[in-house]
Structure 1
Amino acid sequence: MEAMGTLAVAFEDLMNAQLHGEDVPRRLSVYGFGERLPRHILRNGEVRAILREPDHATRRGVPVRGADRLADEYTQIRDVTTALQEGMRLMVLGVDFPQYQRFTQLTPFVDYYANTPEPRFSAEAGYAPNQDEFDFCRQFVITVALRLTEINARAIPPSWK
């Protein structure tokens, strides 16, 4: 799990470096699809709890009318936006989407806890990737890294700037 999790972190680092790196000017970046949403996103229940928090003494924690519906819509829109951003970024890179899906199916879930820079990996019971699956994931990360290098090499500002 550690090796596969490290590959998942490497892929995430590649994508984040492209989005937040200084090597490529923002307007030349292949990632013109908005900022990446933070790793820790508000879950549906958290949105509901925030909407129920009193903002002045008279509300007393009574939910705002439509708070549950707003929480549902917010989380659905957030999830769709995240998926669309990721899909667009992969498309621009020329990454084969079925390969990306296989990569995400084979790698464990990566999570970070507050005040700890080290990732934690989790997977379903019985998770035991074989050597071929590891090799596929390693090659996928290498291919993405090479593709990013190629794209960045071509993202040169005009000579007059």
Structure 2
Amino acid sequence: MGTLAVAFEQLMADQVNDANASGGLSVYSFGKRLLGRGLSAYQVQSILRQPDHAPLRGTPVGIAWAMEHTQTRDATRALQEGMRLMVLGVDFHQYQRFTQLTPGVSWDYRKPEATPIFAVEPGYAPNREEFDFCRQFVITVALRITEINARAVPPSWR
């Protein structure tokens, strides 16, 4: 299941980071991709507590700004992902099921090659039907991307 989650993530990343895209962004990007998990509200608050941010240090305004920043970042990430899925014609409810069934993936970059780290809840044990659903979902998305890219022929004058 972790490998399926990584495969889906790679499919989406390849589309967003398409090197053939004009201007460095593909039609699937909807702005630059927000990398990683980003700073937590606590980390943003810690930055605001630094001496050069003395007017905001520990104030309700600083704390509110930190929360607003992280919520805006998280909403932007979710909107970008939703728009990518919509453009690809991926059924959002199937995507939700896929994300519920597969483990969360983060990456360990301390080694020469990034290694996936999977986060699962206690008792995580998907059955064969759930695995088959996730495998078919990734295959369907890959076929959809292939179909769209095959039809994305530039005009004859370019």
2:41 counterpart residue number:
44
- Provide structure 1 residue ranges, at least 5 long, that are not aligned to the other structure: none
- Provide structure 2 residue ranges, at least 5 long, that are not aligned to the other structure: none
How many angstroms apart in 2 are the aligned matches of 1:84 and 1:133? 26
How many angstroms apart in 1 are the aligned matches of 2:24 and 2:38? 26
How many angstroms apart in 2 are the aligned matches of 1:65 and 1:126? 40
1:102 counterpart residue number:
97
Count of matched residue positions in the alignment of Structure 1 and Structure 2: 156
How many angstroms apart in 1 are the aligned matches of 2:50 and 2:91? 44
> Which string of whole-angstrom CA distances, capped at 9 and with x for unpartnered residues, describes residues 89-120 of structure 1?
10111100110000000001111134241101
How many angstroms apart in 1 are the aligned matches of 2:130 and 2:29? 32
User: Higher relative contact order at CA 8 Å, sep ≥6: structure 1 or structure 2?
Assistant: 1
Is 1:154 aligned with 2:154? no
CA contact (8 A) 1:106 1:129 kept: yes
Give 1:27 deviation, angstroms: 8.1
Give 1:30 deviation, angstroms: 3.2
Is 1:16 aligned with 2:13? yes
Report the RMSD for the aligned CA atoms in angstroms.
2.2
| Percentage of pairs with the same residue | 61
Is 1:130 aligned with 2:131? no
How many angstroms apart in 2 are the aligned matches of 1:11 and 1:26? 25
CA contact (8 A) 1:31 1:89 kept: yes
Q: SS of the counterpart of 2:105?
A: strand
Select the residue among 137, 142, 148 that pairs with 1:140: 137
